[in-house]
Structure 1
Amino acid sequence: MKRTPHTITISGAGSCRTPALIGTLMQMKDRFPVKKVIFFDKDLNRFGKIEDYCRLLLHTFSPETEVVVTGDMDEAYCACDFVFCQMRVGQNTMRSYDEKIPLKYGLVGQETCGPGGFAYGMRSIGGMKEMVDCVRKYSKETWILNYTNPAAIVGLALDRLYPDDHRLINMCDQPYSMMVSFAKILNVDVKTLRARYFGLNHFGWFTALYDTEGHDYFDTLRDYLMNHDFKPYNAEQRTKSWLDTYLRVNKMMNCVSEYIPTTYLQYYFYADEIVKESDPQFTRADETILTREKEVWDVCALARGKNELGEIPVLTSPVFGSMMVEVAESIAYDLNQEFIVMTRNTGLIDNFPAEAVVEVAGTLGKDGVRGIPYGPVKTFYKGLMENQYAYEELTCEAWMEKDYTKALQALTLNRTVNDFDKAKAVLDDLMEVNQDYWTLEKRD
């Protein structure tokens, strides 16, 4: 059956992820055809590094697709069916502050967890609100697929700001990435795998893994991870810091082995160890610029002035790009495919606050997200989640109310901090460098 093509807007189009997203979109164009792609970025100079390459891919594989490049929000959002959102408010300059400032105080310097994640979240909420308001000015029907980090804070804030907007979907590709890695270990097709999972974004656990034929792989996988180093599916392309991240899954499971934890939990359980290994002068922001970004820019530079693709590599993404297209496909054609989704709890985890935004297995179709009920979680995990949720909720309230005290409370609660003095010191420094993005007021 021929599928109706769509108009999509890529928000944050200057990301180094965009070329592989376009390559994946072309790879999957029969499943999700596009009649128009609108590339939007407030910094068109950044998009300029990849524009020729993206245009060449579209011209080669889908010449019928119209291409628009714009820095104007109204042009970007006035008439699209889907927004693929991957914005990074403040770009790598602010990411560098997010990672380096906490390390001054012996705290984890990471872009989505701890104080860095707090600062990034405060910037992202404002950027996302501006985008959603512009999209909804023109259409209530446009699907907004948001992959902007830190997804836990952004997703919770957007749920508070737009509680009835069921076409605003917050997603994360990290559980998807882990499942691709699981499939490689098990030597099975990831498309056949299904999981059960509970938690908050970047703060969850896999509790079951099976295929569409009913074969149970969980115990086999758990036994493997108890006895072998966990490696990502693309280990040969990863830097040492990323490989160490996966190895800490093994370390966590040597302590508590009933479930398989997400990689990001390492920052909460091994904060001191990670800080000790970190270089305050060279963090992942620097590493990304010198590795992943440089590799992408170098490939894209080959397309400058070219009318034919020739021997230029076609970049694709088996995780981020594939998931983004599969999610859009499942919604557009009401396939109700299963993913790990973010959604308001409302009884999915029945001993956790109903208003929390949790991450569980669920389906996506024309009615949006439908979470699969998980049931109760055990005391250990519930306690961890309640502490993390309190941090996320206070962060969102601090942004909405511009409340310094709530921000301080949020950071003090965060498991990577747990210290009023350090929380205050790092908050004050982060406020200083983020003045153009968010401000807080001290009140009696």
Structure 2
Amino acid sequence: MKKFNITIAGGGSTFTPGIILMLLDYLDEFPIDTIKLYDNDGDRQKTIADACEILLKERAPEVSLLASTNPEEAFTNVDFVMAHIRVGKYAMREQDEKIPLKHGVVGQETCGPGGIAYGMRSIPGVLELVDYMEKYSPDAWMLNYSNPAAIVAEATRKLRPNSKILNICDMPIGIEELIAKSLGLSSRKEMEVNYYGLNHFGWWTDIRDKEGNSLMPQVTEHVSKYGYTMGGQDIPGEEASWNSTFKKAKDVQALDAATVPNTYLKYYLYPDYEVAHSDKNHTRANEVMEGREKFVFGECQAIIDKGSAEDTRLETDDHASYIVDLAKAIAFNTKERMLMIVENNGAIVNFDPTAMVEVPCIVGSNGPEKLVVGEIPRFQKSLMEQQVGVEKLVVEAFEEGSYQKLWQAITLSKTVPSAKVAKDILDDLIEANKAFWPELK
């Protein structure tokens, strides 16, 4: 069986060790020759890379690791690029969250003004990766799960229309695992789902077991009572902010009791609640910096100091197994059914054909083939049209360097109460993002 070469773009990410551990779990199904790490911050990447090199020597000595800040070295002779970059790192995420909150608006990394700010930074970063891949490994595929996925997907659709980039997200995977658990199933793979929407903005309309029996009555009843928690209890090991999010799903679901929602819809449908329950001085970015970032880099340093990963507390990123499913589908033409972010083009018949929608696809060697969703209800359609307008305006603002269009995008977001507030937030975001955004006129 062929062994694959993979580049992980964003090699200095806190998620990289978990993804490498996950890849090792699937070596029998998806053999690997070389893993390359690429990051434009060599110092940050070095800690992750040095620890992962020790880990690989102990657990899979046949797999070699190369870490580089040189695009030619990192992108030459690879089959897949797995991209999870964060332009501006957590310091800029903190600004994305705190600047809107200062103005009484939802502060979230992928939703509302924070997501727009992050999108303006991510677009050039992801386009750069696509260009490196096409220059040095033109037959490779990019599996992109860099956020904000909706804006990034629209940018690649418009600005790199022929690129072999597949945009995916792990949030539906995480929710499906919680749904499976609530049903007493061992894995989401025991279910077949129908879902439609935009990234971080969608609804499950049908969930069945492998025999074709509908599980939706049990699922909708459970979510209407408990959200995605088990009996309303906090999920062990989850941070308080995530437990709050999983519980809030029951209020989102109340708007359409026949479906179950993506958790991120709470930011659009209950923005007043979210702002009231946010600490504008200590946001999710601070939680991550004090929690996962400190933990992962501490564990990596401990591996380096000890020269062994034997007792490491680093864990496999189970959610990331969908990345291997996607790579296998492309490499081996498995025809796996997966949720993908793709150009609508008829999947949702009463919706903008150029919108990047998240729908089930059958994935093989030629990429994803969309399944037809059909017509969607007015409520969801109207919400999605507003949000697609935001995403398209952000990409146009980036492309044209347009202040006006970015102001329009923030004004159009359902999380923002007025054009005046939108302008105040935009002016603060421009100041914070001077080192990252194109100049706006």
Scaled to the shorter chain, the TM-score interval is over 0.9
Give the C-alpha shift of residue 143 in structure 1: 0.6
Query: Is it true that 1:171 corresponds to 2:168 in the alignment?
Result: yes
Task: Give a deviation string over 1:92-131, Cα, whole Å, max 9, x none.
Answer: 1111110111111101111000000000000000111111
Contact persistence 2:349–2:374 (CA under 8 A): yes
Pairs within 5 Å for 1:383-398: 383-398=382-397
CA contact (8 A) 1:431 1:439 kept: no
Tell me which residue corresponds to 2:67. 69
Matches within 5 A, 1:252-331: 252-313=252-313, 315-319=315-319, 321-331=320-330
The more displaced of 122-131 and 225-234 is: 225-234
Equivalent pair of 2:54/2:304 in contact (CA under 8 Å): no
Q: TM-score, normalised by structure 1?
A: 0.96
Correspondence for 1:146: 144
Q: Distance in 2 between matches of 1:50 and 1:138?
A: 24
- The C-alpha deviation readout for 1:386-412, integer Å capped at 9, x for no partner, is 111011110110000111111111110
The residue number in structure 2 matching 1:181 is: 178
Q: Tell which deviates more after alignment, 222-231 or 397-406.
A: 222-231
Which deviations, in whole Å up to 9, do the C-alpha atoms of 1:32-54 show, x marking residues without a partner?
11100101111121123322321
* Aligned 1:38-437 pairs, distance under 5 A: 38-165=36-163, 167-188=164-185, 189-231=187-229, 235-313=235-313, 315-319=315-319, 321-437=320-436
Q: SS of 1:236's equivalent?
A: coil
Q: Is the 8 A contact 1:398 1:440 kept in 2?
A: no
Deviations 1:183-231 (CA, angstroms, capped at 9, x unpaired): 1111113222111001110111000011222122111111111223422
Task: Describe the SS at the equivalent of 1:412.
Answer: helix
Q: Secondary structure at the match of 1:238?
A: coil
What amino acid sits opposite 1:310 in the alignment? E
Look up the SS of the partner of 1:343 in the other structure.
strand
Question: How many Å separate the matches in 2 of 1:87 and 1:429?
Answer: 24
Q: CA deviation at 1:255?
A: 3.6
**Aligned partner of residue 434 in structure 2, secondary structure:** coil
What is the deviation of 1:433?
Answer: 1.3
| 1:306 shift after superposition | 4.2
Contact 2:197-2:384 at 8 Å conserved across structures? yes
- Cα pair 1:107 1:275 within 8 Å, conserved: yes
* Distance change (3 Å), C-alpha of 1:441 and 1:314: closer
Q: Distance in 1 between matches of 2:379 and 2:208?
A: 25
Contact 2:9–2:83, Cα closer than 8 Å, also in 1: yes
Counterpart residue number, 2:19:
21
Indicate if the aligned counterparts of 2:234 and 2:243 stay in contact, CA closer than 8 A: no
Aligned-partner SS, 2:303: coil
Q: Deviations over 1:48-90 (max 9, x none)?
A: 3322321122112221112111011121112211000000000
In 2, Cα distance between the equivalents of 1:280 and 1:87? 25
Q: Quote how far apart the aligned CAs of 1:135 are.
A: 1.2
Amino acid at match of 1:80: V
State the shift of 1:164 in Å: 2.3
Give the Cα–Cα distance (whole angstroms) in 2 for the partners of residues 394 and 314 of structure 1. 40
Aligned residues: 438
Say whether the 8 Å CA contact 1:22–1:57 is kept in structure 2: no
Q: Report the Cα distance in structure 1 between the residues aligned to 2:212 and 2:227, rounded to whole angstroms.
A: 27
What is the CA deviation profile of residues 263-291 of structure 1, one whole-angstrom value per residue up to 9, with x for unaligned ones? Answer: 00000011111111111111111000111
Q: Which amino acid aligns with 2:207?
A: L
Contact 1:9–1:83 (CA<8 Å) still a contact in 2? yes
The 8 Å contact of residues 346 and 355 in structure 1, kept in 2 or not, is answered as yes
Residues 313 and 280 of structure 1: is their aligned pair in 2 closer, same or farther, counting only changes over 3 Å?
closer
CA–CA distance in structure 1, aligned partners of residues 147 and 56 of structure 2: 27
User: SS of the residue aligned with 2:236?
Assistant: helix
**Cα offsets for 1:233-255 (capped at 9, x unmatched):** 99211111111111111112234
8 Å Cα contact 1:12/1:40 also seen in 2: yes
1:411–1:418 CA contact under 8 A, matched in 2: no
Deviation at 1:312?
A: 2.6
Distance 1:365 1:234, change over 3 A: farther
Q: Is the 2:170–2:322 contact (alpha carbons within 8 Å) kept by the matching residues of 1?
A: yes
Task: State the TM-score, normalizing by the size of structure 2.
Answer: 0.96
Separation (CA, whole Å) in 1 of partners of 2:96 and 2:197: 24
Residue pair 1:390, 1:410 contacting (<8 A) in 2 also: yes
In structure 1, give the amino acid aligned to 2:162: D
Q: Which amino acid aligns with 1:150?
A: P
Matched residue type, 1:295: F
Q: Which moved more, 1:349-358 or 1:217-226?
A: 217-226
State the shift of 1:308 in Å: 4.2
Between 219-228 and 397-406, report the one with greater CA deviation: 219-228
Equivalent-residue separation in structure 2 for 1:311 and 1:122 (angstroms): 41
| Mapped partners of 1:53, 1:213: distance in 2 | 44
How many Å separate the matches in 1 of 2:383 and 2:150? 15
Unaligned runs of 5+ in 1: none
Percent identity between the two aligned chains? 39
CA–CA distance in structure 2, aligned partners of residues 423 and 142 of structure 1: 40
Matched to 1:95, the amino acid is R
Question: RMSD of the alignment, in Å?
Answer: 1.5
The amino acid of 2:124's aligned partner reads G
Describe the SS at the equivalent of 2:120: helix
Identify which range, 131-140 or 111-120, moves more after superposition. 131-140
Between the aligned partners of 1:151 and 1:208, the Cα distance in structure 2 is 24
Moved more, 110-119 or 250-259: 250-259
Is this contact kept in 2: 1:37–1:68, CA < 8 A? Answer: yes
